Amino acid sequence: MSEIDTQTDDQWLSSEDMEMVRARMPIVYVDAVPVRVDAAGNVTSVGMLLRVAPDGSISRMVVSGRVLFGERVRDALVRHCEKDLGPMALPRIPVDPAPFTVVEYFPDPERSGYFDPRQHAVSLAYVVPVDGDCQPTQQALDLAWFSPAEAVSPTVRAQMTSGHDRLIRLALGHVGQLP
């Protein structure tokens, strides 16, 4: 009987390997809707990044990214919040987080209303309160905070692609703050 190599490599796949995987299977992601809350726990503002979306447009988006092989979902949420909002964002993520919804992104925008031209992605979506100073990092062009009413206004929704406008509405509905 031969030994099976159980060593794992926690590095990202090469871009060629990632394209091959994306073409053949769903990829697990996390979406985090950053929020600020008042002393009573009510959402006072919703944070949205301005970045280049997978379809090439400049769009308002939530924090989002892949879950690495062997990575706990909670750790992926922390990593992506710190990567996109800065190391001083201080996200409050429960020890055992539960998503408020599961979103499926497809290369066909008509399939689910959530769109990613690169792949079929299954994303666990969370509302994440942040307490610290947020400074967009890496690929984000900007980070803006909107009141719940502004976040679902036609003006801000027009700045979103990939179905993130629907995701913001679902998040605000989940926390009882949908205007």
**pLDDT tens digit string along 88-142?**
999 999 999 999 999 999 999 899 999 999 999 999 999 999 998 888 876 678 9
* Token pair of 19 as six digits: 């394209």
Question: Tokens 């006072």 — which residue?
Answer: 44
pLDDT at residue 147 above 80? Answer: yes
* pLDDT for residue 90: 92
pLDDT at residue 1 above 60? Answer: no
- The sign of the CA dihedral 45, 53, 22, 7 is negative
Of 88, 72, 85, 86, nearest in space to 30 by CA: 72
C-alpha distances in angstroms, 63 versus 28, 91, 111, 124? Answer: 14, 12, 22, 12
Q: Between the CA atoms of 95, 49, 64 and 172, what dihedral angle is there, to the nearest 10 degrees?
A: 60
Please report which residue ranges of 86-147 form alpha helices under DSSP H. 109-112
Question: Tokens 């062009």 — which residue?
Answer: 141
Phi, psi of 15 (to 5 degrees): -60, -35
* pLDDT for residue 84: 92
Of 124, 179, 129, nearest in space to 157 by CA: 179
C-alpha 62: how far from its chain's center? 5
**pLDDT tens digit string along 29-73?**
999 999 999 999 999 999 999 998 887 889 999 999 999 989 999
Banded pLDDT at 17 (limits 50, 70, 90): confident
Distance CA 33, CA 172 (A): 9
**Residue 90's CB: how many other CB atoms inside 10 A?**
15
pTM assigned to the model:
0.88
Ordered structural domains, the chain, with CATH: 18-174 (3.90.79.10)
